[in-house]
């Protein structure tokens, strides 16, 4: 079944569609890289293996009110394990007029448990496409983005304008980024959001980051160590008038990365012995995304304004 927006709203309004925490698979990583370097990771937060043959990933492209393309998942996802779907294009394709659709990087494809369908398919997404994970053609178990909304180039950090891109310099978060579901997210989104605030459930990483595919840290897993208990991080003052901010965490910080609103890497600091606090200095006026990387591969993103 390919939902339209009214049908999607009706399905999600039914009590049977409500999911308990740690009870159903969800999207755990989103890679929207350069060219066709694109993929998704799914996480099984339960103690039982799950047959994926009843699941389908749909792409709702460019604000369309229904799914524009889809792929049926295959295989079995292990308890507290992952399943990685990657763009399946293995060769450059001449589009005519000097344009080329590039092959997905073989290094990224090596992480795949499943390669996606030929174009058009969900992993040809750009930053303005919503994704809907469906079970048994009638139950929606996770939503990425806002189906039916065209955000412009991407969903952004612009709260005042509903997190869409209106060309005012806001940071594109769903384009040219890898997004990783936060550690304490234990179920998918089952109600279409009024607006899609990326930072609520996702940490932002640099474009073409895919070395975390195939593993996910989640509070659902009984195998998580004490080091992977829920963490608290802070960046202050925010906004900053001095160009300096203090970065703190209640667990060990392995490194931090600072990105401009455009996604450009501004600065990295790595701590060989770990750290709990660090003062970042000499930031020029502007919007920044500061990623705090803790032990266990967890990353916490903070949006910071310097004026």
Asked if 5-205 and 226-306 have one fold, the answer is yes
Q: May I ask the CATH architecture of the domain 226-306?
A: Sandwich (2.60)
Residue 296 is given by DSSP the state: G
- The DSSP bridge partners found for residue 57 are 71, 133
Residue 274: how many other CB atoms lie within 10 Å: 13
Lowest mean pLDDT among 13-22, 162-171, 192-201, 263-272: 13-22
Q: For residue 20, what are its two tokens?
A: 């308990």
- What does the pLDDT look like over 102-150, one tens digit per residue? 999 999 999 999 999 999 999 999 999 999 999 998 899 999 999 999 9
3-state percent breakdown (helix, strand, coil) of the chain, nearest 5: 10, 40, 50
Nearest to 114 by CA among 37, 41, 217: 41
The answer to whether 40 and 123 have CB atoms below 8 angstroms apart is yes
Query: 95 and 101 in contact (C-beta within 8 Å)?
Result: yes
Q: Give pLDDT, residue 69.
A: 97
The tokens of 258 are what?
């600072």
pLDDT tens digits for 25-64? 999 999 999 999 999 999 999 999 999 999 999 999 999 9
Report the C-alpha gap between 63 and 79 in whole angstroms.
Answer: 34
CA 56 – CA 74 distance, rounded (Å):
9
When pLDDT is cut at 50, 70 and 90, the band that residue 18 belongs to is very low
Residue 226 has pLDDT above 50, yes or no: no
In CATH, what number does 5-205 get?
2.60.40.1260
Burial bucket for residue 77 (CB in 10 Å: 0-12, 13-18, 19+) = buried
Average of per-residue pLDDT values in the chain: 88
Domain borders along the chain are 5-205, 226-306
Largest CA distance in the chain: 56
């Amino acid at each position: 079944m390919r939902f339209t927006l009214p049908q999607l709203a009706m399905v999600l309004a039914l009590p049977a569609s409500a999911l308990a925490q740690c009870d159903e698979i969800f999207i755990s990583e989103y890679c929207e890289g350069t060219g066709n370097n694109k993929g998704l990771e799914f996480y099984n937060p339960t103690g039982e293996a799950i047959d994926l043959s009843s699941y389908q990933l749909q792409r709702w492209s460019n604000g369309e009110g229904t799914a524009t393309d889809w792929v049926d998942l295959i295989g079995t996802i292990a308890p507290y394990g992952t399943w990685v779907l990657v763009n399946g294009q293995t060769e450059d394709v001449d589009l005519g007029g000097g344009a080329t659709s590039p092959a997905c990087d073989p290094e990224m494809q090596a992480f795949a448990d499943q390669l996606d369908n030929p174009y058009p398919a969900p992993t040809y997404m750009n930053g303005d496409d919503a994704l809907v994970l469906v079970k048994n053609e009638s139950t929606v178990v996770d939503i990425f983005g806002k189906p039916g909304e065209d955000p412009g180039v991407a969903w952004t950090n612009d709260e005042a304008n509903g997190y869409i891109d209106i060309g005012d310099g806001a940071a594109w978060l769903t384009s040219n980024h890898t997004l990783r579901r936060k550690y304490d997210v234990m179920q998918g989104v089952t109600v279409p959001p009024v607006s899609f605030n990326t930072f609520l459930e996702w940490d932002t990483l640099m474009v073409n980051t895919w070395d975390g595919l195939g593993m996910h840290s989640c509070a659902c897993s009984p195998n998580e160590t004490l080091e992977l208990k829920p963490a608290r991080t802070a960046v202050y003052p925010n906004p900053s008038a001095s160009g300096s901010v203090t970065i703190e965490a209640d667990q060990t910080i392995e490194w931090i990365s600072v990105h401009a609103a455009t996604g450009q890497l501004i600065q990295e600091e790595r701590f060989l012995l770990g750290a709990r606090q660090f003062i970042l200095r000499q930031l020029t006026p502007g919007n920044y995304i500061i990623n705090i990387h803790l032990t266990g591969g967890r990353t916490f993103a903070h949006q910071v304004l310097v004026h």
